[in-house]
Amino acid sequence: MPRRPAPTIRPLAPSAPRRRHDATGGADLSRRLAAVRLGQGASSLHPLTDSAANAALESYDRGVKDAFDRIVPVLKRLSALQHEDDFVARAQALAQAELGFSLPLPILEKAWVSQLDMRSLFAWCVFETYEQTSDGFFRDDPLQGQPGSPAADEFNAFLLSCGFHLLDATPCADGRLAHAIAFALRLPFSSVRRRPHAGALFDVENTVNRWVKTEHRRYREGVPNPAHDDTRYLKVVLYHFSSLDPTHEGCAAHGSDDALAASCGRQRLMEFQQAVENSFCCGASVDLLLLGIDTDTDAIRVHVPGMDGSTRLDHWLDAATVYEATRHLQPEEARRRIAELATAAAASTPDPGMVRLISRLLEHNISQIDYVRQYHHGHYADAGHAERFIGVGIGFKEIHLRNLTYFAYMDTVEEGAPDMDVGVKIFKGLNVSRGLPVPVVVRFDYNGKVPGARERAVRHAQRVQEAIENRYPDLFAQGLLHALLTVRDQERHTPAEAVGSTISLTTAGGH
Amino acid sequence: MPRRPAPTIRPLAPSAPRRRHDATGGADLSRRLAAVRLGQGASSLHPLTDSAANAALESYDRGVKDAFDRIVPVLKRLSALQHEDDFVARAQALAQAELGFSLPLPILEKAWVSQLDMRSLFAWCVFETYEQTSDGFFRDDPLQGQPGSPAADEFNAFLLSCGFHLLDATPCADGRLAHAIAFALRLPFSSVRRRPHAGALFDVENTVNRWVKTEHRRYREGVPNPAHDDTRYLKVVLYHFSSLDPTHEGCAAHGSDDALAASCGRQRLMEFQQAVENSFCCGASVDLLLLGIDTDTDAIRVHVPGMDGSTRLDHWLDAATVYEATRHLQPEEARRRIAELATAAAASTPDPGMVRLISRLLEHNISQIDYVRQYHHGHYADAGHAERFIGVGIGFKEIHLRNLTYFAYMDTVEEGAPDMDVGVKIFKGLNVSRGLPVPVVVRFDYNGKVPGARERAVRHAQRVQEAIENRYPDLFAQGLLHALLTVRDQERHTPAEAVGSTISLTTAGGH
Reported as a single tens digit per residue, the pLDDT across A274-331 is 999 999 998 999 999 999 999 999 999 999 999 999 999 999 999 999 999 999 999 9
Residue A432 near residue A475 (C-beta atoms within 8 A): yes
Mean pLDDT for A147-152 is 96
| Same domain, residue pair B138 and B177 | no
- Chosen domain end from B348, B376, B404: B376
Q: Are residues A269 and A346 in the same domain?
A: yes
The answer to whether B403 and B176 are in contact (CB under 8 A) is yes
Q: Quick check: A271 and B451 CB within 8 A?
A: yes
The pLDDT score that the predictor gives to residue B24 is: 36
Query: What are the pLDDT digits (tens) for B421-467?
Result: 999 999 999 999 999 999 999 999 999 999 999 999 999 999 999 99
A119 and A236 together in one domain = no
Contact (CB<8Å) B220/A281: yes
Q: B327 by DSSP, 3-state: which?
A: coil
Range of weakest confidence among A373-382, A404-413, A499-508, B266-275: A499-508
Is residue A53 a part of any domain in this protein?
yes
User: Which range (A387-391, B7-11, B104-108, B416-420) has the least confidence?
Assistant: B7-11
Residue A71 to chain B, least CA–CA distance (Å): 35
User: Which of B19-28, B185-194, B409-418, B488-497 shows the lowest per-residue confidence on average (mean pLDDT)?
Assistant: B19-28
* Alpha carbon distance A445, A497 (integer Å): 10
On whether the CB atoms of residues B233 and B165 are closer than 8 A, the answer is: yes
Residue A11 lies in a domain: no
Residues A296, A352 within the same domain: yes
DSSP calls for A413-453: HHHHHHHHHHHHHHHHHHTGGGTPPEEEEEEEEE-TTSTTH
Give the CA dihedral A345, A348, A353, A356, nearest 10 degrees: 10
Q: Nearest to residue A457, comparing CAs of A486, A431, A416, A429? A: A486
Q: Which of A186-195, A428-437, B154-163, B380-389 has the lowest mean pLDDT?
A: B380-389
Is B403 a domain residue? yes
CA distances, B318 to each of A437, B303, B321, B323, B362 (Å): 61, 9, 5, 9, 9
Active site positions of A, annotated = 174
Average the pLDDT over B199-226 and give the result.
Answer: 96
Question: Three-class SS of residue A213?
Answer: helix
**Contact in structure between A479 and A117 (CB atoms under 8 Å):** yes
B221 reaches A (C-beta below 8 A):
yes
**How many angstroms separate the CA of residue B441 from the nearest CA in chain A?**
19
Rounded to an integer, what distance in angstroms lies between the CA atom of residue B449 and that of residue A276? 9
Residue B510 reports pLDDT greater than 80: no
Classify B112 as helix, strand or coil: coil
For residue A230, the tally of other CB atoms under 10 A from its CB is 7
Burial class (CB in 10 A: 0-12, 13-18, 19+), B150: exposed
**Longest CA pairwise span in chain B (Å):** 78
Together in a domain, B233 and B270: yes
Residue A483 lies in a domain: yes
Rounded Cα distance, A428 and A343, in Å: 47
Q: Is the confidence at residue B484, as pLDDT, over 50?
A: yes
Q: How many domains does chain A have?
A: 2
CATH of the domain at B109: 3.30.1330.140
Q: Which of A376, A411, A446 is the last residue of a domain?
A: A376
Which region holds residue B203: left if phi is over 0, alpha if psi is between -120 and 50, else beta?
Answer: beta
Cα(A472)–Cα(B188) distance, integer angstroms: 48
- Region B245-268 average pLDDT: 95
Mean pLDDT over the full length of chain A: 91
Q: Is the pLDDT of residue B22 over 70?
A: no
- Domain co-membership, B399 together with B372: no
ipTM exceeding 0.90, yes/no:
no
Query: Using an 8 Å Cβ cutoff, are A447 and A465 in contact?
Result: no
User: Is B107 part of a structural domain of the chain?
Assistant: yes
Q: Are B324 and B433 contained in the same domain?
A: no
Mode of pairing for the β-strands spanning A287-294 and A497-501: unpaired
Instruction: Identify the band that residue A15 occupies on the pLDDT scale cut at 50, 70 and 90.
Output: very low
Cα distances (angstroms) measured from residue B196 to each of B57, B173, B238, B424: 21, 5, 9, 18
Which residues of chain A lie closer than 8 angstroms to B449, CB-CB? Answer: 275, 278-279
Per-residue confidence (pLDDT) for residue B407, from 0 to 100:
92
Report yes or no: A283 at the B interface, CB cutoff 8 Å: no
Q: How far apart are the first and last CA of chain B?
A: 11
User: What pLDDT does residue A34 have?
Assistant: 45
| End residue of a domain, out of B338, B356, B376 | B376
Average of pLDDT values for A435-449? 97
Q: Name the active-site residue from B141, B168, B174, B445.
A: B174
**B456 has a chain A CB within 8 A of its CB:** yes
Q: What is the pLDDT of residue B112?
A: 84
CA distance B158 to B161: 5
Is the distance from CB of A269 to CB of A235 less than 8 angstroms?
A: yes
- Per-residue pLDDT at B294: 97
State the pLDDT at residue B32. 42
Q: Is the pLDDT of residue A501 over 90?
A: yes
**Residues in B touching A271 (Cβ below 8 Å):** 450-452
Is the distance from CB of B505 to CB of B511 less than 8 angstroms?
Answer: yes
Give residue A394's pLDDT: 93
d(CA A216, CA A305): 27
CA distances (Å), origin A31, targets A27, A39, B220: 7, 12, 55
φ/ψ of A445, rounded to 5, equals: -80, 155
Compare A23 and B69 and report the one with higher pLDDT. B69
Instruction: Please answer whether residues A507 and A459 qualify as being in contact, where contact means their C-beta atoms are separated by less than 8 angstroms.
Output: no
Backbone angles phi, psi at A439, to 5 degrees: -90, 125
Q: Are residues B164 and B302 in the same domain?
A: yes
Average pLDDT value for residue range B26-47: 54
Give the tens place of pLDDT for each residue, A133-146: 999 999 999 999 99
Give the confidence band of B43 by pLDDT, cuts at 50, 70, 90: low
Q: What pLDDT is attached to residue A511?
A: 40
For residue A43, the model assigns a pLDDT of 60
Confirm whether A163 is domain-assigned. Answer: yes
Average pLDDT over every residue of A217-243? 97
Q: Is the pLDDT of residue A364 over 80?
A: yes
* pLDDT recorded at residue A307: 96
DSSP B432-472: GGGT--EEEEEEEEE-TTSTTHHHHHHHHHHHHHHHHHHHS
Q: Is A86 exposed, middle or buried (0-12, 13-18, 19+ CB in 10 A)?
A: exposed
Cα–Cα distance measured from residue A164 to residue B141, given in angstroms and rounded to the nearest whole number:
46
Does A281 contact chain B (CB < 8 Å)? yes
Residue A506: pLDDT band (50, 70, 90) is: low
User: Helix count (H) and strand count (E) of chain B?
Assistant: 15, 11
Residues B66 and B212 reside in one and the same domain: no
Contact list, A270 vs chain B (CB under 8 Å): 451
Cα distance between residue B442 and residue B501, in whole Å: 9
Alpha carbons within 13 A on the beta-carbon side of B271: 23
Residue B104 confidence (pLDDT) above 50? yes
Mean pLDDT of chain B: 91
> What single letter denotes the amino acid at residue A286?
V
3-state secondary structure of A483: strand
Q: Is residue B41 over pLDDT 70?
A: no
Please give the residue range of the domain that contains residue A201: 150-376
Q: Please give the pLDDT value at position A384.
A: 77
The verdict on A235 and A342 lying in the same domain is yes
Question: Across residues B343-371, what is the average pLDDT?
Answer: 98
CB contact under 8 A, B216 and A221: no
Let me know whether B328 and B471 are in one domain.
Answer: no
Of B212, B271, B415, the CB nearest to A412: B415
* pLDDT given at position B140: 96
3-state secondary structure of A335: helix
pLDDT at A19 over 60: no
Identify the pLDDT of residue A383. Answer: 72
Instruction: Indicate the residue of A209, A282, A413 with minimum beta-carbon distance to B414.
Output: A413
For residues A392 and A464, the answer to whether their CB atoms sit within 8 Å is yes
Residue A441 in domain: yes
Residue B173 and residue B93 in one domain: no
Q: Is the pLDDT of residue A31 over 60?
A: no
Domain contains B202? yes
Banded model confidence at residue B27, pLDDT cuts 50, 70, 90: very low
Does residue B394 belong to the interface with chain A, where contact is any CB pair within 8 Å? Answer: no
- Name which of B92, B94, B104 is nearest B74 in CA terms: B94
Contact between A219 and B221 using a beta-carbon 8 Å cutoff: no
d(CA A131, CA A421): 24
Instruction: Say how far residue A469 (Cα) sits from the centre of its chain.
Output: 25
- Asked whether residue B231 carries a pLDDT value surpassing 60, the answer given is yes
- Measure CA A186 to chain center: 13
Residue B23 scores a pLDDT above 90: no
